[in-house]
Amino acid sequence: MKIIVSTLFVLLPMLVTNAQQKGIKSTLVVFDIESNQRTTVLTENAHFEAPNWSRDGIFFVINQNGGLFKVTMDRTKERIDTGFADRCNNDHGISPDGKTLVLSHNLEDGNDGWLTSCMFTVPIDGGEPVRITKNTPSFWHGWSPDGKTLVYTAKRGEVFNIYAIPVRGGNEIQLTDSEGLDDGPDYSHDVKHIYYNSIASGTMEIWRMSANGTGNEQLTDDRYSNWFPHPSPDGKHLVYISYLIDQGSAHPAMKKVALRLYSLKEKTVRTLHEFIGGQGSLNVPSWSPDGKRFAFVSYDYID
């Protein structure tokens, strides 16, 4: 059964995407899925979000206060030159060849600035942004492994659906047509499927579809709110984040959440770690190149 979710309820949590919260401690953590070991890379008494792991395994990209930063394992932190794009939100990523960044930048400031989010590309070492999407708001989430296509969530009219566009820009292709929220699309390693989260069944669950938008299939069905599925580079797993208390269509920050691992072969789920997080913790692809580890951000309040 499909449900219609009020526009206001869907939109409110997205305001948090672009507002850096105060009084927050952020910790960038690496999780090893074989040993269950967690390694802290960076802790700051400040708010940062959404780690990507570089294709060479050397650094992470995070967003903070509208900018993008490189963070290495030895805690070196360097701002990336993104030109005029100084209102970057937490939807950014690295191309399969490691040479390019895609970012989502708000064209306008203010509380409603997120409604002007637009996708751009820049060289991985910085440069002037090149605009990809004509329409706003558009929030990037996945880059096809063959390097040709970007997938993203976009509000067109009153609803959020999933779209694809050539990496050089052009006409966007609508892939879902739901009455509720579809979000967080990311490609499988073989480009055959797109994994995403949707409230089409009445609760927020993990789904997948063929890369052309057909054959939609619900993968999870539990008491949690499940968000942002990211397929591993080796094609064996999905990692995603679950709110322990149902949030409807919202994905707020500073909630009790769990990292969960879905086996694509066995179709089983393993809970990895519970912590305080949500918005900003696992919004974008963050797997290590070998598919054995991934990065996330946990949060706490500063005393």
42-51 pLDDT, tens digit each: 999 999 999 9
Query: Token pair for residue 269?
Result: 């789920």
CA dist 127 → 6, 101, 122, 124 (Å):
39, 10, 6, 8
Give yes or no for residue 104 having a pLDDT over 90: yes
User: What pLDDT is attached to residue 18?
Assistant: 40
Burial (CB < 10 A; 0-12, 13-18, 19+), residue 96, is middle
pLDDT at 66: 98
| pLDDT (average), residues 147-171 | 97
Tokens representing 50 are: 């959404």
Confidence (pTM) = 0.93
State whether CATH 2.40.30.10 applies to domain 7-301.
no
Backbone angles phi, psi at 15, to 5 degrees: -65, -30
- For residue 22, the model assigns a pLDDT of 78
pLDDT value at position 107? 97
Taking all residues of the chain, what is their mean pLDDT, rounded to a whole number? 93
Mean pLDDT of 92-112: 97
pLDDT band at 6 (very low <50, low <70, confident <90, very high): very low
pLDDT (mean) for 31-36: 98
Q: Say yes or no to pLDDT of 11 above 80.
A: no
